[in-house]
Amino acid sequence: MASTATAEGARRHVRELDWMMLAVVGLCCLGLVMAVSVIGPSAHRGPLRAMQRQGTELLAGLVAFLCAALTPMHVVRRLALPGFAATALLCWSTRLIARPWNGAYRWIQLGSFQFQPVEAARFALIVLTAKLLADAGRDVATFRRGFLPTMGAAAFLAGGLVLQPDHGSALLALALCACLALVAGVRLRHFVPWCAVGSVGFAALALRHDYVTNRLLGFLAVRPDSQVGQSLVSIASGGVFGRGLGEGWMKMGFVAEADSDFVFSVIAEELGFCGSLLVLALYTILGVAGYRLVMRIRDPFLRYVVCGFSLALCLQAAVNLLVVSGWAPAKGIDLPFVSTGGTSLFFSLASVGLIGNAARTDLGESSIVPVSPRRV
């Protein structure tokens, strides 16, 4: 009976992972096609150069996927705290070592290579949060064992991001940890007073910057010549079937960051409502597969890992789509697997690899800790 139940569980897990991988492969292929469509027409690059660049980033992401999928989960759990400490401190140090870009210190450049440490820090934060919630056990509902460690780690990272400044990523990290903590059983009443104090302090810090105020005002009254306004024009001009792949003209300097933050508006223009619906369907498949895995995984740490990374991918996609469609203030959040950007793609694929690793580990194909044989 036990072997039959295990085999049935394995078939269920494989089915969910198959659907998740199908969605991820579809999104990555769409990202490669859109990179050629958006970057290719530029005078100094061309389609072949765009495909080479995006293909190289995909290859690096595949390496990250394999490393995350093959690393034993007990090693991942052991490295959670030092990994988070190193990446969070890197976010705090960007003011000293990063070069300013549009008034923000977010990119660290090493020769010709540059990356955003926030992607690595968010990845490590999810693993650490899963470990802290699993270690808390039945005391996860208490303030000292459940709320304080998890939200304290998120607040520490958010402080470094606000210093850059990167208010959107700071809010995303806090929201992600809060959702994961609530799923694990942390009581809602622990969040209420701290959310009130934190909202006031965060608003006071954010409104010191003119661009934050302008984005909030622009969200309340969208101008046709703004980033979101041009994005809405691009989405509306696609119609049902779109202008055709590569035939869009809003990417020619009208839509800002057409290859990264606002790539969905180009998809809507060139592939129309049908292409937009395909993107939404793929993210829905990814989210539903992650949810079904979470409901079946027994080990708390593995369950929180799958839940955290599934939430992170879906939440990031939701924020990007809300911004592009004018339902949220403008914020530079990539569309996972589709936007160009090697750092985001690298850690997005690593997240999927770790989800699959956690699911396989829960099936007993590998183990978190060595298990001694039981005596008969």
Contact of 36 with 47, CB cutoff 8 Å: yes
Model confidence pLDDT, tens digit, residues 268-323: 999 999 999 999 999 999 999 999 999 989 899 999 999 999 999 999 999 999 98
Mean pLDDT is lowest, of 67-71, 110-114, 125-129, 172-176, for 110-114
Higher pLDDT, 348 or 162: 348
> How many whole angstroms separate alpha carbon 309 and alpha carbon 359?
12
Q: Can you give the pLDDT at residue 9?
A: 47
Model confidence pLDDT, tens digit, residues 180-234: 999 998 998 888 888 888 777 777 766 676 666 677 766 666 777 788 888 888 9
Model confidence pLDDT, tens digit, residues 178-188: 999 999 989 98
Tell me the residue type at 6. Answer: T
Mean pLDDT is lowest, of 89-93, 296-300, 361-365, for 361-365
Kindly state the average pLDDT of the residues 232-253: 86
Model confidence pLDDT, tens digit, residues 294-304: 998 989 999 99
Those residues with Cβ within 8 angstroms of residue 157's Cβ, 6 or more apart along the chain or in another chain: 84, 88, 91, 121, 122, 125, 170, 173
Tell me the residue type at 119. Answer: E
Contact of 20 with 352, CB cutoff 8 Å: yes
- Other beta carbons less than 10 A from residue 190's beta carbon: 18
Q: Which residue has the tokens 């008969």?
A: 376
Q: 302-338: string of b/e by CB count within 10 Å (b at 16+)?
A: bbbbbbbbbbbbbbbbebbbebbbbebbbbbbbbbbb
